[in-house]
DNA sequence: ACTTGATATTGAACACCGTTCATTTTAAGA
DNA sequence: TCTTAAAATGAACGGTGTTCAATATCAAGT
């Protein structure tokens, strides 16, 4: 196949990704992309859209990359905990491999009036859904599991953020792999064991309840 | 006392904070600050410095605010776990009370070539040092505790980030208080119990060691 | 009170940014 | 070759952070 035309979404997003890898969010600008491609700034607006669209699409690709990394890591049918730990390792590896692109995903927030497009939501749900599936054998209760997913997702983002931006060295220079493993083994290790917290008790005492906000589980129907 | 002069670090940072609260990182610009104060943009450069300095100083104040909130929450001498939970609640409350200003702290990263000034490091260390003190009664080993501090700090930042930016609703609409409590009780609840990790074994085998970094325990001496 | 000198403040100017859109170029069909 | 629709352009606009010669302000010395 011939090399992609200079003016295509594919090419533009590729260049934008390279810029993000090299210089972070600050380096991704319409003029920089256009210059690197030797096209006019205006063309970007014909082909994709404004800078928000471009960055969001790059971020979506990062999300897809992470999603696939998580799936691959946990593909084999070992025991649940091993799977989760493998996925966590893959998460850390992925962030390590793409520090600036990942921190762009974390740093970038839309203007207060705009909001994230549906296709971004969809990919985000798929990625988080992967985590949910990993936890399913470990935590049966839907609500409990959703809480665990949220906490782990947030904690991994936090560790990744500190790592990627270099701020972790301010806190400690621990290996992220060690931290994540510690987090998971401690946080997840106590499920299905002795003590039951208030929240869990609540979940157990009410076996059936109506589903929560239906819009919140798009990916699974 | 007379109202602060229009041109003083205090006034400028106050206005910058207001802008941050109202419009987030995007709203904090030299021209916006100067206009609101009815002074010239150039004056900001005489009084404080460039926009990086201004934002970093606002962020430092956010850090100080959090530090004090944590200290106040854990001031009384209850049992360690209660203290930690109280501090965690204070953390969530603080972020809830200043969502945009806190997300500015998370979102803002310096250009790749620049790095954070010493005075910022100092305040950050003090704030994280507060967490370290809270964990001291629970985790004796210096290294184990440092890891726990890092993990909790990162996890709280992650949860706060999701909450403040509104991205949490994409994951789940749980109350951050519940999530944080769950995280802490699970992660911290298993210390000084049955299983001892490799790292902990290492710490136990060396019963006496010299006191940690003295600069880290300023508040309590 | 007047002058002097230092200090504080200004705002025009510069280089850059994202964005628009009338104009030009390109390419395909008849 | 002529026509026409689509694609690409780049000058122009309003915005940004930043600089710096010019100006204004003010305190001290005489």
Distance A1 CA to C18 C1' (A): 34
Distance B31 CA to C14 C1' (A): 16
| CB B182 within 8 Å of CB A147 | yes
Q: What is the pLDDT of residue B165?
A: 77
Q: With bands split at pLDDT 50, 70 and 90, how would you rate the model's confidence at B192?
A: low
Q: What is the pLDDT of residue B164?
A: 79
pTM to 2 decimal places: 0.85
Assign residue A35 a region: left if phi > 0, alpha if psi is -120 to 50, beta otherwise? alpha
Q: With bands split at pLDDT 50, 70 and 90, how would you rate the model's confidence at B209?
A: very low
Distance B168 CA to C15 C1' (A): 39
Mean pLDDT, contiguous 10-residue spans, chain A (221 residues): 80 98 96 98 98 98 98 88 97 96 94 92 95 96 95 96 78 90 94 44 41 36 24
CA-nearest of B59, B76, B80, B69 to B17 is B59
Contacts of A186 in chain B (CB under 8 A): 186-187, 190
Chain B nearest-CA residue for A162: B154
Q: What is the pLDDT of residue A76?
A: 77
The Cα B1–Cα B60 span in angstroms is: 26
| CB A62 within 8 Å of CB A122 | no
Protein-contacted bases of chain D (C-beta within 7 A): 7-12, 15-21
Residue A162 has its nearest CB partner, among B24, B111, B154, at: B154
């Amino acid at each position: 196949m011939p090399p992609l035309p200079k003016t295509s979404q594919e090419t533009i997003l590729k260049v934008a990704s390279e810029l993000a890898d090299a210089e972070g969010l600050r380096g991704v600008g319409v003029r920089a992309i256009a210059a690197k491609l030797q096209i006019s700034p205006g063309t970007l607006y014909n082909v994709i859209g404004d800078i928000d669209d471009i960055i969001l699409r790059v971020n979506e690709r990062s999300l897809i990359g992470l999603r696939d990394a998580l799936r691959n890591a946990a593909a084999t049918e070992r025991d649940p905990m091993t799977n989760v730990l493998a996925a966590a390792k893959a998460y850390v590896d992925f962030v390590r491999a793409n520090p600036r692109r990942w921190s762009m995903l974390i740093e970038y927030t839309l203007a207060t009036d705009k909001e994230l497009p549906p296709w971004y939501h969809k990919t985000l749900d798929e990625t988080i859904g992967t985590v949910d599936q990993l936890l399913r054998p470990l935590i049966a209760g839907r609500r409990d599991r959703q809480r665990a997913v949220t906490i782990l997702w947030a904690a991994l983002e936090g560790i990744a953020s500190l790592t990627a931006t270099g701020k972790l060295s301010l806190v400690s220079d621990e290996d992220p792999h060690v931290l994540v493993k510690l987090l998971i083994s401690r946080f997840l290790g106590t499920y299905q064991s002795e003590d039951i917290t208030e929240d869990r008790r609540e979940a157990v005492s009410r076996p059936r309840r109506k589903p929560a906000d239906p819009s919140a589980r798009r990916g699974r129907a």
